[in-house]
């Protein structure tokens, strides 16, 4: 994927996230993408030339390698935060759904629990690859919520793995639901309530950091295409990684 394609993708991603959150978006993905593509008839070549200037190389293979490194520096943090935010929001919704399901022990099922566990595991996995991010305190609280409930969860077939994810033993859970659905519902209702509160803080923190990272990526790209000196360009690249 070329730099302009990557920019188009990240702008569309930003628009999608903003349209599904309480934040307002003042940009238009189609307009921004159109502007980027029309900056010059050889926008891709413009980026390649800047990269050649940075690396002191004009070979196509080196340029391709440099462009990949450029995109990684410029967009990887924003993309990682996007994934983290999406998973945090999904888990928050799953916690709400589990709370609703647990309010009626007669209809509470293994599927309700499995959906919640799957969303939680996706969030933990995303967090492990996102580096430092806003809301880490909320994530720590969320993990602690699970640890505090580990004994109760284990009794109904939910265990905490060494990497922080959860595993559901459906046979044990089914047995617990059959023998004492009210107790299972009570355990899950409390868990859903506490983890929903932690997830909400994580959603808010990662959304704020994501929007800032997106703006930084766009700002850095714009400056890179204003023919700054080589040293300033390198500085911008490293700034975007921090």
* DSSP per-residue string spanning 205-233: HHHHHHHHHHHHHHHHHHHHTTT--HHHH
The token duo for 19 is 């349209």
Look up the pTM and report it: 0.73
Strand partners for 160: 166
Q: What pLDDT, on the 0 to 100 scale, is given for residue 240? A: 44
> For the chain, what are the domain ranges?
3-241
The closest of 119, 136, 123 to 83, measured between CA atoms, is 123
Q: What pLDDT, on the 0 to 100 scale, is given for residue 134? A: 56
Q: How many residues does the chain have?
A: 242
DSSP-derived secondary structure letter, 89: H
Cα separation, 50 vs 15, whole angstroms: 28
> Are 79 and 10 a contacting pair, CB within 8 Å?
yes
The per-residue pLDDT string of the chain (242 residues; one tens digit each, 9 = 90 and over) reads 556 567 677 777 877 887 776 554 444 445 544 544 444 334 444 444 444 444 444 444 444 555 565 666 667 788 888 888 899 999 999 999 999 999 999 999 999 999 999 999 999 998 887 666 656 788 889 999 999 999 999 999 999 999 999 999 999 999 999 999 999 999 999 999 999 988 888 888 888 888 888 777 776 666 655 544 444 544 544 454 44
Q: pLDDT tens for residues 164-221?
A: 999 999 999 999 999 999 999 999 999 999 999 888 888 888 888 888 887 777 766 6
Residues with Cβ within 8 Å of residue 128, at least 6 apart in sequence: 163, 164
């Amino acid at each position: 994927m070329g730099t302009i394609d990557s920019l188009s993708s990240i702008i569309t991603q930003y628009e999608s996230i903003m349209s599904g959150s309480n934040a307002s978006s003042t940009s238009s993905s189609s307009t921004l993408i159109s502007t980027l593509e029309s900056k010059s008839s050889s926008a891709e070549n413009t980026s390649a030339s800047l990269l050649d200037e940075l690396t002191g190389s004009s070979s196509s293979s080196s340029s391709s390698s440099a462009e990949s490194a450029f995109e990684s520096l410029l967009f990887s943090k924003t993309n990682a935060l996007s994934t983290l935010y999406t998973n945090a929001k999904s888990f928050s919704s799953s916690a709400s759904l589990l709370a609703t399901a647990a309010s009626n022990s007669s209809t509470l099922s293994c599927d309700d629990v499995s959906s919640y566990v799957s969303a939680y595991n996706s969030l933990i996995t995303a967090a492990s690859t996102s580096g430092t991010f806003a809301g880490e305190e909320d994530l720590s609280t969320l993990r602690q919520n699970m640890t505090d409930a580990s004994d109760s969860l284990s009794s109904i077939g939910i265990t905490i793995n060494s990497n922080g994810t959860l595993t559901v033993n459906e046979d044990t859970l089914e047995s617990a639901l059959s023998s004492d659905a009210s107790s299972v519902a009570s355990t899950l209702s409390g868990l859903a309530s506490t983890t929903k509160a932690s997830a909400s803080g994580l959603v808010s923190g990662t959304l704020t950091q994501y929007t800032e990272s997106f703006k930084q990526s766009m700002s850095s790209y714009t400056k890179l295409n204003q023919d700054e000196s080589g040293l300033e360009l390198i500085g911008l690249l490293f700034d975007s990684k921090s």
